[in-house]
Amino acid sequence: MTYVITTAAAAPPTAAASDNTGLALALLVLIVAIVGWIGLRSLVRSLRARKAEAAVGGRFPDYALEALVNAAKIDGRVNDEERAAIARAMTEMAGPSFDAARVDSAFASARLNKDELVAYLAARAGAFTRDEKTALLKALLGVFVADGRFDESEHAALVDYTAAVGFDRKSAPDMLRGLARDFARGNIT
């Protein structure tokens, strides 16, 4: 009788140990999947940043021109006001020697998408000065509102650029909406 009680008492812990092994295995698979996902995202972001770096050669003015051209095209419409906003912004960022004809050639040869440009900015944010990053965000906003509209795709892109520069992604939308209103009223030039 003592033997039967011992066997009966030993059976449930063996089943529980089996359940714990399955739980541990499931947890391990989940951790491996999360680490793999993070690694894949980092790899894709790195590849995008490298493509952008190869296209702009690491120079801030060349990067800014690509970003501004992409910004003008992001809503599917490009007009003369946006082209003029790009030329003004580039003259401010690159200096008076900037040739405004480069804007038209940049539109003709635009080869980077927003994700590549944002990945490059995030990777190189430490290499650019605060003044350069601020000038870029101001120029992006100027291009986005140049046509008199500031739609959701433009807003989302500006939030992405703002986050890539290093500003807080959660407070950025409200800050940017306020800036867009001020910019449209002529309070920011």
**Ordered DSSP codes for 103-125:** HHHHHHT----HHHHHHHHHHHT
- Short-list 133, 122, 129, 126, CA closest to 163: 122
pLDDT in tens, the chain (189 residues): 555 544 444 445 555 566 788 888 888 888 888 887 877 777 767 666 677 676 667 788 888 898 899 889 988 888 999 999 999 999 998 888 888 889 999 888 888 888 888 888 888 888 888 888 888 988 999 999 888 888 888 888 888 888 888 876 666 666 666 666 666 666 554
Report yes or no: 90 and 65 within 8 Å, Cβ to Cβ.
yes
**Is the model's pTM score more than 0.75?**
no
